[in-house]
Structure 1
């Protein structure tokens, strides 16, 4: 027994396992598509991510939150479903099979309300996405929790308080000026001018707050408008006042001091007064009992009951464990930012990072599960095709014609894919092996030719099939099942290396690189 003979037998065995592995991968892909294994695994992984340290009593609310996230238009746009009568006929069959599979696997009653075809969240789709980008998930979670609305409400409340404080300070200066000038008829024009000027700045400040509440202005524009209005008020007193400037000098200095102290610049004002809530405060706003929650609810009770009701509804359906997780993410995000303007964006990035880590772990779990399914399919295919490893080795070692035919076809397939031995398209490889099968009678199957050699029995014989002798085939099936589960890419790569070793004129690529 020489080396070329061993290589030919090995190439023949590898080629057979390559074909059977392609069959297994096709079946596994079909099962994954019909039963939506990827989409189902992704949904469960997201539930695990949201669950964290949640108690069993919170499971229903976590499932509801997951459904709300899946109902977000960003995620729904990822889940593309074909349209049309002819296209939907086979899809309805797969939907029915997938629905039956999920109803059998989801034993608990609360688990039956999944994101697929869930009427509670208005989702009439029968499938879910098998992949969700981290930025889409983070944005969907933030929108589901209405964090931008909470941030806007908190900023609006603080801006309104800031407005009232500044107007109260200005009003105090105006009253002192009134006492200083004295109330008499000759100062009536000045008082009318003073009250009109104060009414104008008051109206300007009120308009700024209203514009911010209506999302017409951001905080920068709002504070900038207040600063400009304050400057106009001071300038108007200087230029248009009926009184001499020397009688207004103290009041003007006080107003200028108040303006410089409370509103030195847009960025400085926002930073010092906390008008833009930081990411930690936003996270605390959705957790009852915190100072920020009390601040916001107290301000909204008399002003905007609709926003307060929406906020309370969000908190009611938010499990405490998730609120704690978001608070932890916010604290980590706060360590990575330099100013408050990046707060929500930093929280979004932290959620993306956390989601990526979770999906990486989920991918490992899915691959392990897929390996288990591949092993089961490999054993079934080995038994169904009677792929006895010991018998195949025996046939290949004794039948030189079979050995040469397989070696020749295997060499052609490797030659056709010589530029992509590291990776080959499965569909292309499947097409090439199908052509080769038309020329080869592989030593597998339940035909008389194989059964006569394996069990000394054919269908033409009158005696019954020796079922008990199948036990002798099982060790070979088990070996073949394990080999099939290793996957087509593994066997194709091994086939390429074996063919290159056999063709001494072309050593393996690794050898060429070493010599170079």
Structure 2
């Protein structure tokens, strides 16, 4: 008699595992869609490159604004993207000049004089993108070499270079002055110090970029949730119903005609074979995604068709009973694809290879 409870517990455990797997796979797929849309937006608008050059303009030429937690040009990347302001230099296909340009006289200084000098030293790794530079990452070693070339353009006198930066009001002066004093006026140690400092600044910039991306991912997750009207609670119930239906079909095949009555409610007035086939060929995820604003249907015969579900989608969107499920899906997508891949890997026992 003890075997029956064990079989029942095993069946219930299987149901819960199927439910967890279905939810994990669905949230993983939708999270990948969100990540793909985010990457498309980032590449289309060249956001990584804009972040880098906005920061470099703030650091080298200065554009700070009092009372702001972000420098002005970096703040522009947040508030003015994608159309109103582009901090990147103009693209040039010329190689770096043999001699580095000198820091201009403070009276003739422009808002991007230091940026132009830096770009001259690194533009050999560049390629055009709509008339602007596409450089989105400058290795710390490459930056330190470029800065040393600028510093030694003053007849090898770093002190004179720093004095010109101070006279021009460049925020770079304070950083380099500290590095120069720490290096005890040794050029090689100064170069290494600049490389270490710039590496730390790039890590800080990465934190700002991640903060920006979080807002973008949150907005895209909301759009995906509402665009597909993906009700997480309704989807979980649908998974459980599908599991019960499969159990009923199995009971018919194993127990014979006595178990057929359990299928009548699902297949009333329809050929049971066709009903079972049709239900099994449309898993819960397909049925849920079929209620999106635009869906694709594949008939038994003929070509696939794209359907506009505007009225159905709007009715689901305005139904309060779906809102908790929408909220569940939205919060799940905020965890991101790596989280749901890790959950799926743990449920299935897939080992991670690094």
Is the 2:56–2:115 contact (alpha carbons within 8 Å) kept by the matching residues of 1? no
Seen in structure 2, the aligned counterparts of structure 1 residues 53 and 375 have a Cα distance that, compared at 3 Å, is closer
**Structure 1 pair 447–357 and aligned structure 2 pair: CA distance change class (3 A):** closer
Match of 2:83 in 1: none
Q: Report the secondary structure of 1:441's partner residue.
A: helix
Structure 2 counterpart of 1:71: 119
Q: Sort the Cα spacing of 1:474 and 1:484 in 2 relative to 1 into closer, same or farther, 3 A.
A: same
CA deviations 1:84-119 (Å, max 9, x no partner) are xxxxxxx6xxx4xxxxxxxxxxxxxxxxxxxxxxxx
Determine if the alignment matches structure 1 residue 498 to structure 2 residue 347. Answer: yes
- Which residue of structure 2 aligns with residue 365 of structure 1? 208
Where do residues 125-144 of structure 1 align in structure 2 (5 Å cutoff)?
A: 125-143=131-149
1:42 and 1:130 in contact (8 A); partners too: yes
Residue 478 of structure 1: aligned partner: 327
CA distance in 1 between partners of 2:120 and 2:246 (Å):
58
SS at the partner of 1:443? helix
| Residues 466 and 28 of structure 1: CA distance in aligned 2, closer, same or farther (over 3 Å) | closer
Shift of 1:478: 2.5
Matches within 5 A, 1:41-80: 41-50=51-60, 63-73=111-121, 75-80=122-127
Superimposed CA distance per residue, residues 31-74 of structure 1 (whole angstroms, 9 cap, x where no aligned partner): 00011111111122323444789787x9896841452244224x
1:233-263 Cα shifts (integer Å, max 9, x gaps) = xxxxxxxxxxxxxxxxxxxxxxxxxxxxxxx
Task: Give the drift of 1:463.
Answer: 11
Relative to 1, partners in 2 of residues 1:447 and 1:368: Cα closer, same or farther, differing over 3 Å? closer
Report if the CA contact (8 A) 2:229-2:313 is conserved.
no
Give the Cα separation in 1 of the matches to 2:237 and 2:282.
22
Give me the whole-angstrom Cα distance separating, in 2, the residues matched to 1:509 and 1:326: 47
Bigger Cα Rg: 1
CA gap 1:71/1:447 in 2 versus in 1, 3 angstroms? closer
Distance 1:347 1:400 in 2: 68
What is the CA-CA distance between 1:5 and the residue it aligns to?
1.2
TM-superposed deviation, 1:151: 4.0
Alignment of 1:285-296 (within 5 A): 285-286=160-161, 288=163
Structure 1 segments (4+ residues) deviating >4 Å: 51-56, 58-63, 314-317, 401-404, 437-440, 462-468
Q: Quick check: 2:144–2:191 contact (8 Å CA) kept in 1?
A: yes
Partner of 2:20: 10
TM-aligned CA deviation for residue 438 of structure 1: 9.9
Aligned to 2:289: 444
Deviation sequence 1:337-357 (CA, Å, 0-9, x none): xxx7xx222221111111001
Residues paired across the two proteins, number:
255
Q: Please give the per-residue CA displacement for 1:141-187, whole angstroms capped at 9, x wherever unaligned.
A: 233xx3213244x5xxxxxxxxxxxxxxxxxxxxxxxxxxxxxxxxx
How far apart in 2 are the matches of 1:7 and 1:324? 59
CA shift for structure 1 position 481: 1.9
Distance 1:441 1:402 in 2: 16
Q: Is the 1:51–1:59 Cα contact (8 Å) retained in structure 2?
A: no
Q: Does the CA-based 8 Å contact 1:382-1:480 persist in structure 2?
A: yes
Q: Where do 1:227-238 residues align within 5 Å?
A: none
Structure 2: stretches of 5+ with no match in the other structure: 1-8, 74-108, 248-280, 296-307
Partner of 1:239: none
Give runs of aligned pairs for residues 126-275 of structure 1, distance below 5 A: 126-143=132-149, 146-152=150-156
Pick from 146, 171, 178 the counterpart of residue 328 of structure 1: 178
Specify which structure has the higher proportion of helix.
1
Q: Which residue of 2 aligns with 1:318?
A: 168
Inter-partner Cα distance in structure 2 for 1:442 and 1:464: 13
What's the TM-score once normalised by structure 2's chain length? 0.61
Cα distance change, pair 62–38 in 1 and its aligned pair in 2 (3 A): farther
Bigger relative contact order, structure 1 or 2 (CA pairs below 8 A, ≥6 apart): 1
Measure how far apart 1:374 and its partner are. Answer: 1.1
Distance 1:396 1:463 in 2: 21
Give the CA deviation at 1:369.
1.8
Contact kept in structure 2, 1:378 and 1:485, CA below 8 Å = yes
Distance 2:179 2:133 in 1: 31
Q: Quote the RMSD (CA, aligned, Å).
A: 3.9
Secondary structure class of the residue paired with 1:71: helix
